[in-house]
Structure 1
Amino acid sequence: MKLQCDVEVLSRLLPTYGMKSRGKGSRAVVSIGKHPDKSSQRSNVYMMICTAKDRTGSKYKLKDNIEKFFTWFVEEGKATVRLKDPAVDICLSKADANSLKSFLAAARLADRGSDTSSLPLSTLTPVRARDVEQLKKKLTIVSRKDYPLASSLPYSLEQLQVSYCKLSRVDMRMLSLKALRRLDLSNNHIKKLPATVGNLACLSELILHNNHLEAFSEALCLSTLQRTLQVLDLSQNRLRSLPARFCQLRELVNLKLDDNKLVCLPFHVGRLAKLRFLFAAHNQLTVLPCDFRKLSLENLDLFGNPFLHPNPLDHTMQLSFPLPLQELASRAVTELRIPYGPRLLPAHLCRDLESAKTCECGRVCVSFYIETAVRMNLHQVSHTVVLVDDMGGTDAPVQQHFCSLSCYSEFLDNSLQRGVK
């Protein structure tokens, strides 16, 4: 039984002599195996710790010699084994949680004197230098011939780049890298992202530039990425839309959507309160969602989209008279902030309520409204704006909704008055 981890051996006698431990572990291989005992002429089970400075290893007898196990943080790859003789605490950290659990189980059996045939014992021999190297935190692979097919990826990785390897899907080995903070899979042939990408609890940067993605999973928008993802690069893919719940990724700071086939941005894009950099050039956007006004950006690029030239008189009428009871009830639920959810209402009603629009008068409309587009200078939402077209403009059309004919008529009157002036 072998375990790769950081180890610090603390003598419990140090405080007696007024001394302190250095408080830092060394990379080590910890093994459990048999070794001849010179005093009894028999083989006993020992724990051996090999480090870069001591590759031959230090051995500690296990049978009836473990005073206590400390396993409060075993899920984080940490544990401590307290020995009776010598009076030391063996502190293990930065270990794979499952491997650590198996190792501690074997140590318990050895302490109890269990039949050695039932123990997963190893040969207690000196280790190779590469076995006790410091944890690898960054790995870059930029050619198919360098891609590891047989060997595993170091579980300690925090940054992984795999580019130009013609991957058609995400390697499941990547999804077991619990410490991963940056995953760069740019310049591959990936068509679909598995929902299990959302299990990477530390992931803050996901780079998928120049792949074949046709959709972004709604499951990812509802995963732990809501709390961690800050940078998302989906540029140069085949996306036509993003899910309605995309805006649940509220930690996003930098979003790249250039060179796709997007015909619209998510309706609630204004909920991305931390977003500072938005790049959506060279798509098929004709109008921006009304929620776009709520953004507060540092840099915005919407160049190369076929934006409409808004005319207040061009509108879509989606009103009926009188308003249906369902619309009236939906407006009341939204305006009065009455709690709702799939346990209280059918799913399609929840979706309608989530896409509620706000009229210029401040009231809400859900499924019945008048829609038009108005011109907005993008400097209202961003400090720096890349020109929208070759004519040097920084204006773009934004959706505007009206809850009633009277609100729309008042809007037209104001627009005509501004035009006369």
Structure 2
Amino acid sequence: MKLYCEVEVVSRHLPTLGLRNRGKGVRAVVSLCQLRGPAKSEPTGPRPACLLVSTLKDRRGTRYEQLKENIEQFFTKFVDEGKATIRLKEPPVDICLSKADPGSLKSFLSALRLAHRGCDINTSLSTLTSVKSSEFEKFKTKMIITCKKEYPLSKNFPYSLEHLQTSYCGLIRIDMRMLCLKNLLKLDLSHNHIKKLPATTGDLIHLQELDLSDNHLESFSVAFCQSALQKSLRRLDLSKNRIKALPVQFCQLQQLTDLKLDDNELIQLPFKIGQLKNLRFLSAARNKLPVLPSEFKNLSLEYLDLFGNTFEQPKTLPVIKLQVPLSLLESTARTMLCKRIPYASHLIPFHLCQDLDTAKTCICGRFCLTSFIQGTATMNLHSVAHTVVLVDNMGGTEAPITCYFCSLTCYINSSDMFK
């Protein structure tokens, strides 16, 4: 029985000698092997098992022969992330396992528990031999596939992959085997025919870069935006698809620094786009954007490309939807948002949460739901970006932006914006 992972063997004697552990694991094959003869104390009992830790530099491995009643403790809090620690009594070492397949790790630990109790292990154990060099190929961290012939159909992707590219493979959906690669940092699925993202894409909790350019996506998954990727995803390429709009929840991907939306059918950007505080590179060229959302002015970009959009001229007459006096719902919502009172669907009805999520921000900083004045102004894009690609062939760097006013007073005080 073998486990492919990274291993660090930590001696508990080192701190008493004033020494430190190296603090870094190495790629290894951890084998649960069966010794040739039965235990001397129990000649008729099950043959004893031992633990063999083999690395590429030491393929013969380090052997820990005594397992029965010799495991002091198992540390399995992070076993679902492929991590665990086995603490031996003698020798006094901690065998720290990481970057393992969670399913394989759980099975391996179950077998170790049986060995610790001296029970028969109902699993075929490995022979006590040196590990072949070819077995370390399973630690491959990068795989690039650029045609259908190279795409693996009969075997799984190496679990240790950190960078996977499968381009020009004719994929119509994301292979579920990819979503088991918990160590994946970069996933390139460009130049395929993918139409939809599965809800479980967010299970790739360490993913930093995702390239879905040149596919057939028509919408973007809300579940993806609300997954653990909110904390990890930094680069997202959705260019050359068929997306018309992104969900409100898209702006919960707070760690995004690089976003490409070129050559889609976007008729609007997420109106809460100003919440992407870490965004530095934004490209949304050749779409159908008539106007920018009001919170666009809150961005702080290094590079911006909005060339080839169908921007409209600012409207001189505003849209007036003021309610006097304010409804109880409007007044309460404004107070909650102003005071930053937390809310969730288990506290208030779900539709009210949606109303609060889609609240508009007045230029004075206050909020409004259904009572407001809406206008359009012109914004110089250099006010939000250091480098701006010309909006049109005429050399312009200005674009229309939607503005909201929570009261007539705010509108009058800002009326020079519409002159």
Tell me by how many angstroms 1:272 deviates.
Answer: 0.8
Which has the higher Rg, Structure 1 or Structure 2? 1
Written as runs of structure 1 = structure 2, the 5 A alignment for 1:160-171 is 160-171=164-175
Q: Which residue of 2 is the match for residue 137 of structure 1? A: 141
Task: Report if the CA contact (8 A) 1:14-1:21 is conserved.
Answer: yes
Task: Report if the CA contact (8 A) 2:48-2:115 is conserved.
Answer: no
State how far apart, in whole Å, the 2-side matches of 1:16 and 1:363 are. 60
The worse-fitting range, judged by mean Cα deviation, of 296-305 and 317-326 is: 317-326
Task: Report if the CA contact (8 A) 2:38-2:48 is conserved.
Answer: no
1:280 counterpart (278, 284, 298): 284
Q: Which residue of 2 is the match for residue 156 of structure 1? A: 160
SS of equivalent residue, structure 2 residue 231: helix
**Cα deviation code 1:353-412 (max 9, x no counterpart):** 222223345543211222121111111111111000111100100011233445445544
State how far apart, in whole Å, the 2-side matches of 1:53 and 1:339 are. 55
Which amino acid in the other structure matches residue 36 of structure 2?
A: P
Decide whether aligned partners of structure 1 residues 403 and 149 sit closer, same or farther in structure 2, where only a CA change above 3 A counts.
same
**Cα deviation code 1:244-266 (max 9, x no counterpart):** 11111111111111111110111
SS of equivalent residue, structure 1 residue 104: helix
Aligned-CA RMSD value: 3.0
SS of equivalent residue, structure 1 residue 273: coil
Give the TM-score normalised by structure 2.
0.87
Which amino acid in the other structure matches residue 250 of structure 1?
A: Q
SS of equivalent residue, structure 1 residue 36: coil
Q: Which residue of 1 is the match for residue 349 of structure 2? A: 346
SS of equivalent residue, structure 2 residue 177: helix
State how far apart, in whole Å, the 2-side matches of 1:234 and 1:39 are. 61
1:103 counterpart (100, 105, 108): 108
State how far apart, in whole Å, the 1-side matches of 2:215 and 2:196 are. 9
**Cα deviation code 1:159-186 (max 9, x no counterpart):** 1111111111111111111111111111
The worse-fitting range, judged by mean Cα deviation, of 48-57 and 237-246 is: 48-57
Decide whether aligned partners of structure 1 residues 67 and 370 sit closer, same or farther in structure 2, where only a CA change above 3 A counts.
closer
Identity %: 51
Q: Which residue of 2 is the match for residue 195 of structure 1? A: 199
Q: How many residues align?
A: 412
Decide whether aligned partners of structure 1 residues 17 and 249 sit closer, same or farther in structure 2, where only a CA change above 3 A counts.
closer
Task: Report if the CA contact (8 A) 1:5-1:92 is conserved.
Answer: no
Task: Report if the CA contact (8 A) 2:187-2:210 is conserved.
Answer: yes
Q: Which residue of 2 is the match for residue 387 of structure 1? A: 390
The worse-fitting range, judged by mean Cα deviation, of 70-79 and 15-24 is: 15-24
SS of equivalent residue, structure 1 residue 232: strand
Which amino acid in the other structure matches residue 387 of structure 2?
A: T
Tell me by how many angstroms 1:6 deviates.
Answer: 3.7
Decide whether aligned partners of structure 1 residues 205 and 2 sit closer, same or farther in structure 2, where only a CA change above 3 A counts.
same
Task: Report if the CA contact (8 A) 1:229-1:251 is conserved.
Answer: yes
Task: Report if the CA contact (8 A) 1:52-1:133 is conserved.
Answer: no
Task: Report if the CA contact (8 A) 1:213-1:237 is conserved.
Answer: yes
Decide whether aligned partners of structure 1 residues 328 and 50 sit closer, same or farther in structure 2, where only a CA change above 3 A counts.
closer
Decide whether aligned partners of structure 1 residues 103 and 356 sit closer, same or farther in structure 2, where only a CA change above 3 A counts.
closer
The worse-fitting range, judged by mean Cα deviation, of 391-400 and 122-131 is: 122-131
Which amino acid in the other structure matches residue 358 of structure 2?
A: S
State how far apart, in whole Å, the 2-side matches of 1:411 and 1:49 are. 71
Task: Report if the CA contact (8 A) 2:5-2:29 is conserved.
Answer: yes
Written as runs of structure 1 = structure 2, the 5 A alignment for 1:134-283 is 135-283=139-287
Decide whether aligned partners of structure 1 residues 308 and 89 sit closer, same or farther in structure 2, where only a CA change above 3 A counts.
same
Q: Does 1:79 align with 2:79?
A: no
Task: Report if the CA contact (8 A) 1:109-1:119 is conserved.
Answer: no
State how far apart, in whole Å, the 2-side matches of 1:124 and 1:198 are. 40
Decide whether aligned partners of structure 1 residues 407 and 312 sit closer, same or farther in structure 2, where only a CA change above 3 A counts.
farther
State how far apart, in whole Å, the 1-side matches of 2:413 and 2:305 are. 33
Stretches of structure 2 that go unaligned for 5 or more consecutive residues are none
Tell me by how many angstroms 1:230 deviates.
Answer: 1.0
